[in-house]
Structure 1
């Protein structure tokens, strides 16, 4: 589903020109500060279609002849296009306010084609300088980014209760840098939920890939919880994992199914893979131990495991289950993982493995400010 930025022209891309507000000569064209620079970054780094929506009062009448409008408008578009800023569609309403036309913002008469399953309006935005732009967002089911110097909530007949505005407006600003930074921030903040239920276990996991490393882990195995908390903390992935398993039998199903479910939700979270580094590698020393993890999020499952444990269990976790955890994760996350650990203390070995694994994941999912798929084949 496509996400859209519905962008106003006058007052948002170019500055308005009172008292007539008609941009009908080249002398009146002044771009909003930094708009070209930050729109270029939005186009290059983020995944939005750009759609221009503008009211041009009385366009085509004697007061505003089209011959005065189109050369200027096309000139603006040409400048934007030279910087890679292209609008997939442009909607211009020519009515005057007194006509109360359904096509005039905040009316949606020009935009009914976007109420289609191809478009993700709930995650789209209207960017504009007037309350009519805010109300357009409300009418479309989008969110509003309100860009202007003075954010006055009582503009003529379009005044609505402040509490309703708060539900629609996600950002009030007077500069495009804040718009870009906000859109980039939320593009990383994606909460994903997944549940896997069998006759042996019930696993519920919520993750946010680009988080703060916060976790709430409950599997019934304290040492396993500790390792998963380390995974969350050092990868900076917010992670809630609640597993109810048949521990009355043994630990196998709980650990295996947690790994499978974690791999599934991780794969689901990065399935696009555009703009990520793809590869991750990290070594962690921990007293007598040194653990190295190298991984590739390339879509193929493989585990190379080079470590041995002397103890049968650490806490209540059988050491034979650690290779099984990573094998299950590799299979469901569709990634290559190579793990090598040396040392004498088994606790230090597995903890350093999980920490190195976390740091390798953090490196592999890092965004690199492009929208390219990290493969020369063009497919992962």
Structure 2
């Protein structure tokens, strides 16, 4: 089933006027970037486009039809000349006092979309008024309010068509995983398109510090809460955290459309750390660093490889990790930072390539 974008005309495609009547060409003023991003939305998605608009007094002396239709037709021809084709157009002509079921927020004009053959749950009404938001509720779909400030309970309030495009097409990549065994109880949440905000509690101070690098340098919002059997040793806490973290990444990446897929090397004082990653769906780890110390902080150095191997297994990614240097702390911190930067590069989405996968196979 296809979802629908029910799009208001005035205030959403062209700017609203003081008298709320677009009855002359001189009043026509299209919103910034509306053609560019509406065309991209249509090209990169499966949305049906339905224009739904109220026109107060249409056909009266105050607003004669012979002033309305030439401007409306010009709007539609302009949209089509920019590659934007509406599937249907619904115009209600009743006054507010008429309380007609066709008038927004009434749904009378839209019965063709309410027969169960369309995906209303994942559809949106885009409009600049509270009645547009209410129309969304009446239809059983969601609302995008075109306004500078939020005054309704719409899912998104914005005056930017770029932001509308990103919201509809570049869906937020968030996921959470709860992993509970007899040895550990782990809750992880990620937002791959976050701002680097982290909340890490594993019971291992140095491990917390390393996972914090992932969030800060990867631009990822990351929450990790772990209760592990540290009275035995660190093994289960580190391994199970890596497994849950990899699973969370796999869920958040979704269909992987538009991602770079590949991603970094960086220096840290005496250390040169190199981490290459490929979210191509095939787990593999190449691990070449060597450590001379048994522990760094509370973390056994033998667990570093185990951590990245476990992450690779559940994230279904290829990791190739090298590090050269003398300071053991710098070495592993450099690896975690390079890993974060590699992930940031690999998961970055290219808006111009959202309809395709970065693979000749057609599947990742």
Bucket of the pairwise TM-score, normalised by the shorter protein:
0.7 to 0.9
1:32 to 17, 30, 33: 30
Q: Contact 1:296/1:336 (CA < 8 Å) preserved in 2?
A: yes
Deviation at 1:43, TM superposition (A): 4.4
TM-score by length of 2: 0.83
Stretch deviating more after TM superposition (350-359 or 66-75): 66-75
SS in 1 for 2:84: coil
Deviates more, 1:353-362 or 1:241-250: 241-250
Task: Give the structure 1 partner of residue 152 of structure 2.
Answer: 166
Aligned to 2:363: 379
Return closer, same or farther for 1:215/1:100 CA change in 2, 3 Å cut-off. Answer: same
2:181 is aligned to 198
Q: How big is each residue's C-alpha offset from its partner over 1:4-60, in whole Å with a ceiling of 9 and x where there is no partner?
A: 53211244324568979476x9x5783524332343354467786533222356889
In 2, Cα distance between equivalents of 1:347 and 1:3: 52
The one-character-per-residue Cα deviations of 1:180-221 (angstroms, maximum 9, x if unpaired) are 235526846454222111222111011111111111111111
Q: State the secondary structure of the residue aligned to 2:276.
A: strand
Q: Considering only aligned residues, what root-mean-square deviation do their CA atoms show, in Å?
A: 3.6
**Does residue 316 in structure 1 map to residue 298 in structure 2?**
yes
User: CA 1:343–1:182 in structure 2 vs 1: closer, same or farther (change >3 Å)?
Assistant: same
Corresponding position of 1:155: none
2: CA distance, partners of 1:359 / 1:38: 30
Distance in structure 2 (CA, Å) of the matches to 1:259 and 1:20: 57
SS of match in other structure, 1:217: strand
3-state secondary structure, aligned to 1:166:
coil
Please, what TM-score do these two structures have when normalized by structure 1? 0.79
Give the counterpart of 1:257 among 227, 234, 240: 240
**How far did 1:117 drift?**
9.7
Counterpart mapping for 1:98-109 below 5 A: 98-109=97-108
Larger deviation, residues 10-19 vs 198-207: 10-19
Q: 1:31 to 1:374 in 2, by over 3 A?
A: farther
Specify the SS of the correspondent of 2:108. Answer: coil
Distance 1:343 1:22 in 2: 69
Q: Distance in 2 between matches of 1:21 and 1:258?
A: 60
Which residue number corresponds to residue 301 of structure 1? Answer: 283
Q: Indicate conservation of the 8 Å contact 1:42/1:180, yes or no.
A: no
Q: Which residue of 1 aligns with 2:8?
A: 8
Give the count of matched residue pairs. 358
